């Protein structure tokens, strides 16, 4: 087995697509309408265009436990997921210039350096650099 797609719940797919492409630099990979209010919408890293796709999945408003879980993670400052970075400080500096809000500035923690930002779609996302 291998990972082909992983999902991140987002409060608004269009806003998420703009953030993940315009701010983070991902590329839109698949965009297929599923219903009037949702679509199969994935993005990929520019560096690994055939790599793992991130499904920008509509947060399940009709499923209360998922809403509670996503909000609890966000309110606690816990990242929903993490992305690898070759240089956290450089990515932090670039993203701050683009107006991205960080709750944790670049911080060394043993063998890694991390930073955590708000994806504007209901999630904290951590970037990690292996030192």
**Predicted confidence (pLDDT) per residue in 94-107, tens digit:** 999 999 999 999 99
pLDDT tens digits along 25-84: 999 999 999 988 899 999 999 999 999 999 999 987 778 898 899 999 999 999 999 999
Segments making up each domain of the chain, as ranges: 5-130
86-105 in b/e burial notation, b at 16+ Cβ within 10 A? eebeebbeebeeeebeeeee
Q: Note the pLDDT of residue 49.
A: 97
Q: What architecture is the 5-130 domain classified under in CATH?
A: Roll (3.10)
pLDDT tens digits along 4-31: 999 999 999 999 999 999 999 999 999 9
């Amino acid at each position: 087995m291998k990972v082909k797609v992983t999902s991140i719940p987002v409060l608004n797919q269009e806003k998420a697509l703009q953030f993940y492409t315009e701010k983070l630099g991902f590329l839109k990979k698949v965009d297929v309408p599923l219903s009037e209010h949702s679509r199969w919408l994935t993005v990929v890293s520019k560096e690994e265009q055939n790599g793992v796709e991130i499904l920008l999945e509509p947060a399940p408003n009709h499923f209360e436990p998922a809403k509670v879980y996503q909000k609890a993670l966000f309110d606690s400052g816990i990242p929903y997921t993490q992305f690898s970075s070759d240089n956290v400080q450089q990515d932090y500096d670039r993203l701050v210039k683009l107006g991205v809000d960080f709750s944790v500035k670049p911080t060394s923690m043993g063998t890694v350096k991390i930073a955590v930002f708000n994806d504007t779609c209901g999630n904290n996302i951590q970037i990690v650099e292996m030192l």
